[in-house]
Structure 1
Amino acid sequence: MRSIIAEDPNWSLDLVPSLSSLCQRCIADTVEEKYLFEKLTPELKDSIQSRLSLSLPLHVTADLVPDGLFWKRCCQQRWKICDISQYDYSWKRMFFERHLENLIELFIPEETEFKVILDALALCKNYVKRLNITQLLLTSRKFVKGRDDDQNEIATLSNEEEDDPSICHFDFGPVLAELIHLEELHLVYTIKQCGMNFEWTMFQITDRDCRALTLAFKGCKTLKVLRIRQSQVDDKKCRPLLRCLMDHPSLIELDLAHNILRDGGARSVGELLSKGRLEKLNICNNEIDVHGAKILAQALSNNSTLRYLNMRLNQVRDEGGQAIVEALQNNTTLTYLHLGGNDLTSITAVVLSKVLLKNETLKTLNLSCNSLGEVGGKALAEAMVHNSTLTECDIRQTEIDETNAASINKAIWDNQHDPTLHHSDISVGN
């Protein structure tokens, strides 16, 4: 009987790779052959994707490698936190969205070559549905010598010059024109790590940015959600932005929270509500007062699409609050209303209680951090007994006594008609 004596003492027949393994290795080495992937079973696809090198050029893998283990490995290698549920459980979508977001967030106008963005767009455009931009860098500032001989300070050019070329952010026009599947755009005009170079202009949208965005939105017909938060959007900047969205074919959600909108901004938002197709509006933490609230109330009374309205942390007070709640007598679509932190008192609560007797649409109401008092609490408690649609009511920190709070809580619980649901978020304020 013949025997084989190996030169390697550690050699074993068990180390000889199977034919299947050799074939998988061959396919992994010839990743350009896309048709090979299409003929494999899901198990073999995962096996091959686990063998692919993560250093392969993106222009090779973008269209050739389908969604799966390879893109999961790419994401986990690059980012510590990877919540795939935010990307329709697609690792490939997560990779390309976050890859493009990183390029934009690190882009320096007039310094970074725009070809970097264009090259990435050619690979990303078929997979990007949402862009969440958390910072936008400014171009290098121009400095001039100051006149203080003692301090020898360096002063920047005046920030009041609207078209100062030293103050500009990334231009989204070419990007939005290429992203044919983009549905959500989230923008924050800020810089995360400004260090000792801090200036207020680093944390605000400029007039030039607004003009650029108006042109960009016209070329993005698929956009459904627009969020511009914490960017110092005022009345002047708000008007051109919202005017270009009047006839937008797909926009259903607008979020301008944590800005500085006042009466003019409320007027622009009201016009959009009257002519647009918005279903969700968030304008919390602005500076909208009584007059702005009345403008919004008039638009709300004639609106037939809006379902969600968040006006938390404004300054509408009782006069504005009454106008908003009275608009609910004519509105038949709004299901969520947040008026927390608006200096409301029992006067608004009494008017609201009368409206709740007739309104059959509102399901969620938030009046937290107001001063409704005992009179307001009693009026709401009596109205809730006759209202069968409201299933959530937040009255934390509203100075309502325990008896009325308990009555409201019981009415809300009865409206839910489901013992598995949790109690509404209600507590008594001091």
Structure 2
Amino acid sequence: MMPDSPLPADERNVAGDARRMRRIITEDYSWSLAIIPALTDLCLQHIVRNFQHNPLLEKLLPKHRSKVLEQLSTSLPLPVTTNLISCEDYWRRCSSERWQTCDISHYGFSWKRLFFEKHLENLIECFIPDLTDTGAMCSTAELSKDYIRRLEIQQLLPPVKVEMRKEDEADDVSDSGSDAGGDLPSMDHFDLNLIAGSLCDLEELHLVYGVKGCGMNFEWNLFRFTDRDCAALANSFKTFKKLKVFQLHRSRVDDEKVRVLIRSLLNHPSLVHLNLSHNQISDRGARAVGKLLNQSQLQILNLCNNDIRPHGAQAIAHALTKNSTLKTLNLRLNHIGDEGGQALCHALLQNNSLETLHIGSNELSEPTTSVLAHVLSQNTSLKNANISCNRIGLDGGKQLLEGLSENKTLLECDLRLTDVGQESEFYMNQVLRDNQERARVEAQQTQRSTSGLER
């Protein structure tokens, strides 16, 4: 017969309960001593799990809505989240999980705008003509139309099947890349007209008709802006009425194509910045650009690294004599020579709006600097001049110093690799520092006056 337990009955019961508790925990690993969640939390978890099929958000209290947004998956379909979720923190999570670098300062400090612009850019850059579904592209553009202001397209892919042209047959084959009409793809690159109707508020458009990272698979055929591409792009300008900045570079754009584009941009209601750098534009294209200067509100024009020669520079100079809106002109890395350089400098005697002129690496020499020196003694609008990488020489440097000594407005002058001489460069830099100090003092006085008027 077992002896009676030395413990009182109550203590024996407690000990028994403890043994049973330990046994239950050991045998059932899913059992927990944690407090049962509140009914509110259970409901919120249910909303999160079923959000795709029942996107309940607006009817929640603010504190409950915040909890749901913190737990929502970033992989939810865009048709569900686009117009329903405006919380910036949610779109920050979506963007950070997808892209390593996210700088919202370029997107109006809006995470939602950053996400949709980069998302659409990726779709366009991966689009393959006659292979990628255009319906999905159009629906995405329509869905995100209220959040797209800028598109920066770093590549545009050609069709998979492209008939390659030999170098010696380039003049005999059409610019579309195929001489067999029945085998032509429906488009040579992505056609912006497919989504232009959904992007009526687009303000900036940057395009490169080429393939990035092609490596050892490089072929010139991958970097071709064709006639069909040009016609389609020109037609899209009719829809992009709010376009302020247009950049088409590194795309082998020649004179004929730039003339087609310029024809569509004449009298554009809002274009202020045009960048056609790193292309194949020569004098005929430059004359078309000169016509654009006379019929638009352009403020910035970049034609860097093209094939513009004296006659093209003269056409642009002639337009400058009548233009009153252009503030920045970049003709670096062309071949305008002294004939073109002198024409541009003479134009500045009549132009009162241009503030920045870049004519570096243009085969200029002393004749151009003698005219520029005369201009600097009279022009009061030019603030930044770049004539680097030209054969100015010692005499040209002395003439520039003489003209600059009478100038009170020029703040920057790049004279690198011009052989103007250390002495002339030293005294010119001293004049520039005096002008910069004078401009700083005037800016402070203007700011004080403005503050006084506001009070």
TM-score class, shorter-chain normalisation, is 0.7 to 0.9
For residues 411 and 158 of structure 1, the distance between their equivalents in structure 2, rounded to whole angstroms, comes to: 54
CA distance in 1, matches of 2:67, 2:423: 64
Aligned to 1:332: 352
Which residue matches 2:273?
A: 253
C-alpha distance 295-420 of structure 1, shift in aligned 2 (>3 A): closer
**TM-score (norm: length of structure 2):** 0.83
Give the AA of the match of 1:160.
Answer: V
Q: Deviations over 1:326-367 (max 9, x none)?
A: 111111111111111111112111110111111111111111
Q: Which runs of 4+ in 1 moved over 3 A?
A: 3-13, 15-31, 44-48, 155-159, 193-198, 418-421
- CA 1:415–1:24: 2 relative to 1, 3 Å: farther
Counterparts in 2 of 1:157 and 1:279: CA distance versus 1, 3 Å: closer
Equivalent residues in 2 for 1:159-178, closer than 5 Å: 160-163=173-176, 164=178, 165-166=184-185, 168-178=188-198
**CA 1:301–1:419: 2 relative to 1, 3 Å:** closer
**2:284 pairs with 1:264:** yes
Which of 70, 73, 81 is 1:53 aligned to? 73
Q: Secondary structure at the match of 2:62?
A: coil
Provide the rounded CA distance (Å) in 2 between the counterparts of 1:420 and 1:63. Answer: 47
The percent of aligned pairs where both chains have the same amino acid is: 43
What's 1:189 paired with? 209
Normalised TM-score (structure 1): 0.87
Question: Please, which runs of 5 or more residues in structure 2 have no aligned partner?
Answer: 1-9, 179-183, 442-455
Q: CA deviation at 1:17?
A: 4.7
Q: Which residue of 2 aligns with 1:65?
A: 85
Q: Deviation digits for residues 307-343 of structure 1, max 9, x if unmatched?
A: 1111100001111001111111111111111111111
- SS of the residue corresponding to residue 82 of structure 2 reads helix
Q: 1:383/1:86 Cα in 2 relative to 1: closer, same or farther (>3 Å)?
A: same
Distance 1:324 1:419, change over 3 A: closer
The amino acid of 2:62's aligned partner reads L
Alignment of structure 1 residues 68-83 onto 2, 5 Å:
68-83=88-103
**1:118 — aligned with what?**
138
Contact kept? 2:358, 2:386, Cα under 8 Å = yes
Deviation, structure 1 residue 34: 4.2
Q: Are 1:234 and 2:247 counterparts?
A: no
Amino acid at match of 1:108: I
- Structure 2 residue aligned with 1:149: none
Give the 3-state SS of the residue equivalent to 1:54 in structure 2. coil
Which of residues 325, 329, 332 is equivalent to 1:312?
A: 332
Structure 1 partner of 2:62: 40
Any stretches of 5+ residues in structure 1 without a counterpart?
147-152, 422-430
Deviation at 1:140, TM superposition (A): 2.3
Distance 1:320 1:143 in 2: 41
Partner of residue 103, structure 1: 123
Aligned AA (2:198): E
Displacement after TM superposition at 1:46 (Å)? 5.5
- Partner Cα distance (1:60, 1:413) in 2: 58
Q: CA deviation at 1:12?
A: 5.1
The alpha-carbon distance between structure 1 residues 385 and 118, as it changes in their structure 2 partners (threshold 3 A), is same
Q: What is the alpha-carbon distance in structure 1 between the residues aligned to residue 403 and residue 163 of structure 2?
A: 63
C-alpha deviation, 1:49, in angstroms: 2.7
Query: How far 1:261 moved relative to its partner?
Result: 0.5
